Amino acid sequence: MGRRSDHSREELRELILEEGHRQLSEVGFARFSAREVAKRIGYSIGTIYNVFGSYDALLLALNGRTLDVWLAFLEQRLAGREERRLDAAIEAYFDFALGCRHAWTALYDFRLPEGTPPSQDYRDKVAAITGVIVREIAAILPPGLGGEALPLARSLLASVHGHCFFALNGTFAMLGETDPVGAAKARVADALARFGAG
Amino acid sequence: MGRRSDHSREELRELILEEGHRQLSEVGFARFSAREVAKRIGYSIGTIYNVFGSYDALLLALNGRTLDVWLAFLEQRLAGREERRLDAAIEAYFDFALGCRHAWTALYDFRLPEGTPPSQDYRDKVAAITGVIVREIAAILPPGLGGEALPLARSLLASVHGHCFFALNGTFAMLGETDPVGAAKARVADALARFGAG
DNA sequence: GAAAAAATTGAACGATGTCTATTTCTTTAA
DNA sequence: TTAAAGAAATAGACATCGTTCAATTTTTTC
């Protein structure tokens, strides 16, 4: 078959991303197959390469979509919340990771070849999620410590990430930890206490 | 070719693990190939299946070897150290992960099929590394808080892991963090301060 | 309406993990 | 000593994967 006009370039891209994200969410990164995605949308594997150029680019785009969903999820959880907003953000971190287990895990399982930085677009998405936490922490920190918000947010994100990662990959289960969320909240509280916040 | 007697079963197992760990350390989990390991030791792929039964079992054994090396590295770094032992352990965490980048990353990239818990042997190795941290924290905590050592060790390991993970996977670079080790130490200090230790 | 450009395909390639029938060697038993 | 039993190693087949590319068909352009 040759050229067809079933979908515009953009429609096709969206079609692939939609089905691709469904696949990734269902089977996980290790079993994800670009061929399978092509088959399911009724196109051939070559078409995916036409649109995305490579497997890596496709996966980066899929992970980008996960980041989009994650950001929306986080903000929705915070919307209207008055107290304990940082705790809510931590809960949202865990709930998203657990609820979108495979897609969330793929964010970290997939890595571009060494020396290949992700696109600016992707970096912006990561920065957007971080930005939410920076904002929340800045609102909590005592006046005059605003400059600490970014470094602290990075570090607390890493701490929460570690707890969430261990919760999902079984490390915590191995070690008998039954309340990863509580532990993560406690560590964040410890850090904020140092700055006289919380 | 049929049966040969170049190596005993144990020698063969060791041969595969040695070359396999070398491969894993060089090319990383994503590019690791059991076939390639077989080729390099002069056996066929079938032999690896004879000895290990499956690809998953081989990788679990390889990761187990990484844990062995890691534990030895950690204890060697702590040996003879009088002060700031926990800081030394954090540095060791990062140094090992950076120095054995691919092998360390494989510990988390590789996952057994869902519902398949790792062998007792593997869990023991994870517990052994954790045990070192439990011991160090117990030595620092005020008297009467000994029961907090294990939960705190789990949580601090997760925090340090998150920092180390973000350092290696580029997240920290994206966010402008230039001193991941310092940030990790700070978070650990925050937690210890809550317990009146440090 | 012809030429140029764009899009889509499917076959080919070299890998991978996995499995099995077969061959070969070692061990056991008569 | 020799034949049968058992264990170990292999080659090859299978299905899959990402990747590439010549060929084909449609759309666009002039």
Q: If DSSP states are collapsed to H, E and C, what string results for B14-39?
A: HHHHHHHHHHHHHHCCCCCCHHHHHH
In this complex, do A155 and B169 lie within 8 Å of one another by their Cβ atoms?
no
CA atoms of B165 and B109, how far apart (whole Å): 11
Nearest residue on chain A to B115, alpha-carbon basis: A170
Domain residue extents for chain A: 1-53, 64-194
Q: What is the DSSP letter of A115?
A: T
Topology annotation, domain A1-53: Arc Repressor Mutant, subunit A (1.10.10)
CA atoms of A160 and A174, how far apart (whole Å): 19
Mean pLDDT of chain A: 96
Contact list, B176 vs chain A (CB under 8 Å): 150, 154
Nearest protein residue to nucleotide D19 (CA to C1' distance) is: A54
CA atoms of A45 and A184, how far apart (whole Å): 43
Of B176, B186, B194, the CB nearest to A155: B186
Is B144 exposed, middle or buried (CB count within 10 Å of its CB: 0-12, 13-18, 19+)? exposed
Q: Sorting pLDDT into bands at 50, 70 and 90, what band is B197?
A: confident
CB B171 within 8 A of CB A165: no
Portion of chain A with pLDDT greater than 90, in percent: 90
CB A19 within 8 A of CB A41: yes
Of B161, B171, B187, the CB nearest to A187: B187
Question: How large is the greatest C-alpha to C-alpha distance in chain A, in angstroms?
Answer: 67
Let me know if domain B7-53 sits in CATH 3.10.450.50: no
Virtual torsion, Cα B95, B99, B104, B106, nearest 10 deg? 160
pLDDT of residue B3: 67
Structure tokens belonging to residue B103: 């092998």
CA atoms of A158 and A174, how far apart (whole Å): 21
Of A161, A176, A177, the CB nearest to B162: A161
Which residue of B172, B178, B187, B195 to mutate against A (max A Cβ within 10 Å)?
Answer: B187
pLDDT one-digit tens code per residue, B93-136: 999 999 999 999 999 999 999 989 999 999 999 999 999 999 99
Topology annotation, domain B64-194: Tetracycline Repressor; domain 2 (1.10.357)
CB B166 within 8 A of CB A184: no
What residues contact A58, with CB distance under 8 A and at least 6 apart? A16, A20, A34, A48, A52
pLDDT one-digit tens code per residue, B11-27: 999 999 999 999 999 99
pLDDT one-digit tens code per residue, A109-159: 999 999 999 999 999 999 999 999 999 999 999 998 989 999 999 999 999
